[in-house]
Amino acid sequence: MDEKRVSESVITMTELVLPNHTNQLGNLLGGQLMHWIDICAALSAAKHNNRICVTASVDRIDFHHPIKLGDAVTLVSSVNRVFTTSMEVGVKVFSDTFRTGQRMHTNSAYLTFVSVDDMAKPFNAVKIIPETQDEIRRYNQALQRRNIRLQSR
C-alpha cells in the first residue's frame, strides 16, 4: 500500500494509575507516563507502516495537570506526517477521575519514529493522507516542528 489515511493510524490505550506508578505525592510518575506515550506512539507508527518502527526522538512532553492515583489515563495517538523513512506521531493524554466524572487533557507529546526493514535499516514509510481540518493542521505543523528539529541538530 502506497498511502493510508491518518485515521487508519489511530491507537487508543487506557491505563489505570496504580500505587507503583506514583510518586510520594500520589501523582503519576513522569517516566511512567513517558513509557506509555512511547508505546502508544510506536503502535500508531507500526499500524500505519505494517512494520516495526523505532523511536528516533521525543520532541516534547508538556505536563499540563497532574494525574492522580486511581485515575484512568487514556492516550490517543496518530501519525501526523510522513517524510521519507521517518514520521511524526502526536499523542494526547487524558485523565479520567471516575469519582467526580472529570476528564482533563493533561499532556501532549510529539515523537519521531523511523520505519525499519527486517535488518533494522531505515525503510521508506507509507505516505499519509490528512483528511479533516484538524489532521491537515497537524500535518502542516509537523513540517514546522521537523524544520526546527533539523536546525537544532
pLDDT in tens, 45-83: 999 999 999 999 998 788 889 999 999 999 999 999 999
Query: Given this model, what pLDDT does residue 1 score?
Result: 66
Query: Given this model, what pLDDT does residue 20 score?
Result: 97
Query: Given this model, what pLDDT does residue 71 score?
Result: 98
Output the CA torsion sign for 31, 116, 60, 71: negative
Q: Which residues of the chain have pLDDT under 70?
A: 1
Give the strand order in the sheet containing 53-63: 11-16, 72-82, 86-97, 102-115, 53-63
- Radius of gyration of the chain from its Cα atoms, rounded to whole angstroms: 16
Among 117, 111, 110, 131, smallest CA distance to 50 is for 117
- In angstroms, what CA-CA distances link 42 with 9, 50, 80, 100? 10, 11, 13, 32
Out of 3.10.129.10, 3.40.50.1820, 3.90.1150.10, 3.40.50.300, the CATH code matching 3-151 is: 3.10.129.10
Query: Given this model, what pLDDT does residue 62 score?
Result: 80
Distance from C-alpha of 109 to C-alpha of 137, rounded to nearest angstrom: 16
